[in-house]
Amino acid sequence: MANRIPESFQDLLTGKITFAHLATIMRDGSPQVTPVWFSYDGQHVVVNSAKGRLKDRNMRARAQVALSILDPDNAYRYLQIIGRVVEITEAGADLHIDALTKKYIGQDSYPWRSPTEVRVIYKILPEKVQTMG
Amino acid sequence: MANRIPESFQDLLTGKITFAHLATIMRDGSPQVTPVWFSYDGQHVVVNSAKGRLKDRNMRARAQVALSILDPDNAYRYLQIIGRVVEITEAGADLHIDALTKKYIGQDSYPWRSPTEVRVIYKILPEKVQTMG
């Protein structure tokens, strides 16, 4: 498996609007997986959560994650990424969730913000990339 | 979290045609996740792979898995399942992959069969179920 996203699959990261199914590891070693919004900075898949949530706790404790990203126009074309969270930061996380909101639902500001939550960015470096289709 | 699929979300398992993103655990404890076809027998989410593949090896060695299933008509409605592989069998696995082929692509027989592969069924018992939307 390559460790970079092939040019021919970068449309799934930057062009089309699709979810990533992000798997993280629980304290007991079992997996959990949920659909998430994401962006791509050319090197990292960037996701956004809030401090204290399950995914936040998992990614802070165990950096190994995996992503499955389907082409919304062809379910038999997808990217499978195994990677590592290499940076966790609150810097820019509010702007980032607003940018994701724009990308995914066309609104300027994240509508489900809770007044007490602290948004967090996680930068995932792909280590193994497999493509299908 | 409940340990059963709520009635109101069973359409994602039995009615609509959608993929499950199945996360399994690698030998080193890291996750991997890919889209898979599935059926539901009223109690287990049933997936199908072939002997010797990565998912097969992972599920035989580590029964804890997780699934993320999006509503194809509403990406903000989904099921998150954390579960355990409680049965692995070759019995009926060829018929099962043909049934999945019918469900997903409308053909009578699985078109990507390799002459040497041994199909395998994995029955996943949901232990924690979370719904969204």
**pLDDT of A7-37, one tens digit each?**
999 999 998 999 999 999 999 999 999 999 9
Q: Has residue B93 been placed in a domain? A: yes
Work out the burial of residue A111: count CB atoms within 10 Å of its CB; fewer than 13 is exposed, 13-18 middle, 19 or more buried. Answer: exposed
The gap between the terminal CA atoms of chain B, to the nearest Å, is 15
- Asked if the Cβ–Cβ distance from B80 to A32 is below 8 Å, we say yes
pLDDT digits (tens, 9 = 90+) for B74-105: 989 999 999 999 999 999 999 999 999 999 99
* Pairing of β B20-25 and β B31-36: antiparallel
CATH number, position A23: 2.30.110.10
Band of residue B120 on the pLDDT scale cut at 50, 70, 90: very high
What does DSSP assign to residue B118?
-
Instruction: Let me know if residue B1 belongs to a domain.
Output: no
Q: Which residues of B touch A65 (CB under 8 A)?
A: 30-31
Contact A23 B32 (CB under 8 A): yes
Cross-strand partners of B82: B66, B128
pLDDT in the model for residue A2: 63
Provide the mean pLDDT of chain B: 95
- For residue B3, name the pLDDT band (cuts at 50, 70, 90): confident
Ordered DSSP codes for A78-132: EEEEEEEEEEEE-TTHHHHHHHHHHHHH--SS-TT--TT--EEEEEEEEEEEEEE
CA distances from residue B48 to A12, A42, A74, A120 in whole angstroms, order as listed: 26, 35, 21, 37
| CB nearest to B29's CB, from A23, A29, A82 | A29
Inter-chain Cβ pairs, chain A and chain B, closer than 8 A: 90
Q: How confident is the model at residue B4 (pLDDT cuts 50, 70, 90)?
A: confident
* Domain extent for B41: 7-132
Q: Which residue of A has its CA nearest to B131?
A: A34
Looking only at the bridges linking them, the beta strands covering A20-25 and B119-132 are unpaired
Q: What is the pLDDT of residues B35-55, one digit of tens each?
A: 999 999 999 999 999 999 999
Q: How high is the mean pLDDT of chain A?
A: 95
pLDDT tens digit string along B12-26? 999 899 999 999 999
> How many Å lie between the alpha carbon of B67 and the closest alpha carbon of chain A?
6
pLDDT, one tens digit per residue, over A46-71 is 999 999 999 999 999 999 999 999 99
Structure tokens at A7: 């040019």
**What is residue B108's DSSP assignment?**
S
pLDDT score recorded for residue B127: 95
Total domains, chain A: 1
A1 inside domain: no
Q: What's the CA angle centered on B49, arms B8 and A27, to 5 degrees?
A: 65
Interchain contact, B21 vs A80, CB within 8 Å: no
